[in-house]
Amino acid sequence: MQTLIHQWVHVTYLETSKFTETYGFSGSQGTVNLEGVLIKPAQGAFDTVFLMMHPASTLQLLPLPNAVAKAGYPVLCMGSRYVKNDSALIYEKVALDLGACVRYAKNQLGFKQVILLGWSGGGSLALFYQSQAQQPTITETPAGDPVDLKSAGLVPADGVVLEAAHRSRARCLADWIDPSVLNEFDPDQRDSRLDLYSPNLPEKPPYSKDWLEAYHAAQLARVRRITARVQETLDTLHRRGTAEIERGFVTHRTMAEPRFLDGTIQPNDRPVGSCYLGVPETVNSGPVGLARFSTLRSWMSQWSIDHSRADGETCASKISVPLLAIEHSADDAVPQPDIGLMYQACASQDKEMHCIKNANHYFKGQPEQLAQAVTLITNWTRERNW
């Protein structure tokens, strides 16, 4: 068993925000400061590193990075500028953060190959970054603010691994948001025909096809109503021409996904009646629900199904580096089709996909499934002489 070294890493680069969007000095003082941990075996020299970044979380305490490092490959877990607070998150700026970390891994840490290991929400981020590093197109955010990825000199990664990854945060929200909410400012005003957790709801699992279609249409309509309000508010603030240019707001009830109550929807080995965050009905109105707190600009970049560019399936079609996709068959967060859809969309000629039977989202209490993932990742890497 490898003895591991955990090395604190600080990545800083120049960037100035037009206003302070995160508490501290990320951008507002002319620099962005990112922190992370390099986990590596105590002995040996290494040419390849796995780089993990989630848009809004830290990853070094997950079982996967330490297990991969124990198997002989260094893992660099980096946080974006929005770590542990996604309320103001702009995906285009997260891509700049990830680009700074790729560059640091190659130029400062000396790794020849950097492989993006995209776990959960980090999967669509990895594909978004790689697509812009290979074919940069973006010069402004969906809200119209300048952010130039075309001239940022993003360094492409050498490969991408998707592990228990969903297609995008915007797609998840559109699938999970509670369509029964009629008034965004009073979440107790609800449509009883769409109130998933009401004991009086006539529909019971397994839900009928017609009801599910109406339910999902109402979910999409709610997301788009919020987007329209966000755009209208941004336009109003812009027309006023004052120093007030941003606002925050709350989106109530965002975990009402029928899939978590009905195992016949996109069936896999997940438990029914729970999700990765706990009891779905509790999560629906709890503080950790998707998009619970958001700024106007963040909604456009992160949560709007029609505007967010960090869509894994779309971005996968624009990458050509080797891809490894790993599905967890008992994933209690990621929709069952997502890994396969991104795999199928990937333009790379060198790609493969595997499914780990009975693996849940976090490998909670699952050392055997964790070991299978590590074997898949390390074998795939060695086969490419990395």
Q: From first to last of its 386 residues, what are the pLDDT tens digits of the chain?
A: 679 999 999 999 998 777 777 776 566 678 999 999 999 999 988 999 999 999 999 999 999 999 999 999 999 999 999 999 999 999 999 999 999 999 999 999 999 999 999 999 999 999 999 999 999 999 999 999 999 999 999 999 999 999 999 999 999 999 999 999 999 999 999 999 999 999 999 999 999 999 999 999 999 999 999 999 999 999 999 999 999 999 999 999 999 999 999 999 999 999 999 999 999 999 999 999 999 999 999 999 999 999 999 999 999 999 999 999 999 999 999 999 999 999 999 999 999 999 999 999 999 999 999 999 999 999 999 999 99
Torsion sign, CA atoms 180, 182, 184, 186: negative
Same domain, 88 and 190: no
Residues 278 and 313 in one domain: no
Sheet holding 31-41, edge to edge: 4-14, 31-41, 75-79, 48-54, 113-119, 159-163, 323-328, 351-356
Residue that finishes a domain, picked among 303, 326, 348: 303
- What CA–CA distance (Å, rounded) separates 269 from 328? 9
Answer whether 22's CB lies under 8 Å from 361's CB.
no
Same domain, 151 and 181: no
Q: Encoding tokens for residue 197? A: 């957790």
Q: Cβ distance 72 to 110 under 8 Å?
A: no
Structural domains in the chain (count):
2
Query: In this structure, are 60 and 187 located in the same domain?
Result: no
| pLDDT value of position 27 | 63
143 and 282 together in one domain = no
Which of 303, 338, 362 represents a domain boundary (last residue)? 303
pLDDT of residue 2: 75
Residues 60 and 195 in one domain: no
- Residue 149 DSSP symbol: S
Identity of the amino acid at 229 = R
Task: Tell me whether strands 75-79 and 48-54 are parallel, antiparallel or unpaired.
Answer: parallel
Q: Which of 237, 269, 303 is the last residue of a domain?
A: 303
Q: Which domain holds residue 203?
A: 172-303
pTM above 0.85, yes or no: yes
Question: Dihedral sign, CA of 54, 57, 61, 64?
Answer: negative
Pairwise CA distance, residues 237 & 2, whole Å: 56
